[in-house]
């Protein structure tokens, strides 16, 4: 298994040797390698068993360093960067040749963000290259929000996990792309659409792609446990699947007729932000119980509820 610790110097040394390191962010843990080095990037795809047509997000420490590897930053992107970086927002820009095509799956654009995590920001400031870092889990599976989650899934394949504690947001970053100066949400996530619109006005939303996605995390089936997932009215689903080993992932309460051990409540106080931080942990815990089915429900489609519902839709899509 991987070593888990907080030694930034050791992480720096490994990355310089073209090795991979799992890093904490405020959203989920990432599997990081040198974004300027095609061999390091190839290792990311191999370890995750990720299809090469699904692009990666590049992480760096400040806005000025982004100019090293992108061609142009639209005015609205500067406004969003000022408002939300460091933070759970990724933006897509035209790339320079220094970014290998493998990072972007052959696209001429690259997804970039500045993570809001003190340990990882310190690491990023200490190296002279950005980090390509998708979520640190096997491709398509539930994203990790703790160092132990990474070790359970990838610990035998990587040397080191930088432990930054539990992730504070718990779902991946929101991704915004630009056509000229027009902004479009390509993936819902930890930066609320309502907050983005307060900065740049009404924004388009374009989400899923069955193949050849234009940004990371756009595939229809993604973020899914191994156990099949059904979404709907929980009481009706419990009645429909009587006799099966059912787990319940609910928003704010427990349900009669199901062993509490087989239930996970995202937020007993009904708070969407708290629910987002617990979503992947809940799916992961239920997935370990040898159940036949996990049933869940959509939450109010506002704020981080949009991202929660997006991840639930894609978890359910795996069964199809």
Per-position pLDDT tens, the chain of length 320? 999 999 999 999 999 999 999 999 999 999 999 999 999 999 999 999 888 778 999 999 999 999 999 999 999 999 999 999 999 999 999 999 999 999 998 999 999 999 999 999 999 999 999 999 999 999 889 999 999 999 999 999 999 999 999 999 999 999 999 987 789 999 999 999 999 999 999 999 987 554 455 667 655 666 789 999 999 999 999 999 999 999 999 999 999 999 999 999 999 999 999 999 999 999 999 999 999 999 999 999 999 999 999 999 989 986 54
Could you say which DSSP state residue 70 is in? B
What is the spatial distance between Cα 296 and Cα 28, in angstroms, rounded to a whole number?
Answer: 21
Would strands 57-59 and 109-113 be described as parallel, antiparallel, or unpaired?
A: parallel
Which tokens sit at 292? Answer: 């036949």
Cβ-contact 55, 175 below 8 angstroms? no
For residue 255, which phi and psi values (nearest 5 degrees)? -120, 140
For residue 193, which phi and psi values (nearest 5 degrees)? -60, -40
Domains, the chain, with CATH or none: 3-205 (3.90.870.10), 229-317 (3.40.50.11030)
What is the spatial distance between Cα 59 and Cα 37, in angstroms, rounded to a whole number?
Answer: 14
What is the spatial distance between Cα 203 and Cα 225, in angstroms, rounded to a whole number?
Answer: 31
Most distant CA pair in the chain: distance in Å? 59
Helical (H) or strand (E) element with 229: strand 229-231
Which tokens sit at 147? Answer: 């160092």
């Amino acid at each position: 298994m991987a070593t888990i610790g907080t030694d930034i110097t050791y992480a720096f040394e490994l990355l310089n040797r073209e090795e991979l390191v799992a890093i904490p962010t405020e959203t989920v843990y990432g599997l990081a390698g040198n974004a300027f080095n095609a061999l390091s990037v190839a290792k990311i795809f191999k370890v995750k068993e990720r299809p090469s047509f699904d692009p990666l997000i590049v992480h760096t420490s400040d806005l000025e360093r982004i100019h090293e590897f992108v061609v142009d930053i639209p005015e609205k992107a500067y406004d969003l960067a000022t408002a939300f970086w460091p933070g759970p927002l990724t933006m897509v820009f035209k790339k320079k040749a220094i970014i290998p095509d493998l990072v972007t799956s052959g696209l001429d654009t690259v997804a970039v963000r500045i993570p809001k995590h003190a340990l990882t920001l310190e690491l990023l400031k200490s190296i002279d290259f950005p980090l390509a870092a998708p979520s640190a889990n096997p491709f398509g599976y539930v994203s990790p929000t703790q160092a132990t989650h990474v070790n359970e899934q990838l610990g035998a394949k990587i040397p080191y996990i930088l432990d930054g504690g539990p992730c504070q947001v718990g779902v991946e970053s929101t991704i915004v792309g630009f056509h000229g100066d027009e902004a479009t949400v390509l993936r819902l996530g930890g930066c609320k659409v309502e907050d983005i619109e307060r900065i740049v006005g009404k924004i388009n939303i374009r989400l899923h792609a069955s193949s050849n996605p234009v940004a990371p995390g756009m595939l229809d089936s993604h973020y899914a446990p191994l156990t099949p997932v059904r979404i709907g009215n929980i009481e009706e689903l419990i009645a429909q699947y009587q006799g099966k080993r059912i787990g319940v992932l609910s928003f704010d309460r427990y349900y009669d007729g199901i062993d509490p051990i087989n239930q996970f409540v995202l937020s007993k106080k009904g708070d969407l932000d708290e629910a987002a931080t617990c979503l992947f942990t809940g799916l992961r815990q239920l997935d370990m119980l040898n159940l036949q089915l996990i049933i869940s429900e959509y939450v109010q489609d506002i704020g981080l509820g949009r991202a929660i519902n997006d991840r639930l839709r894609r978890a359910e899509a795996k069964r199809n």
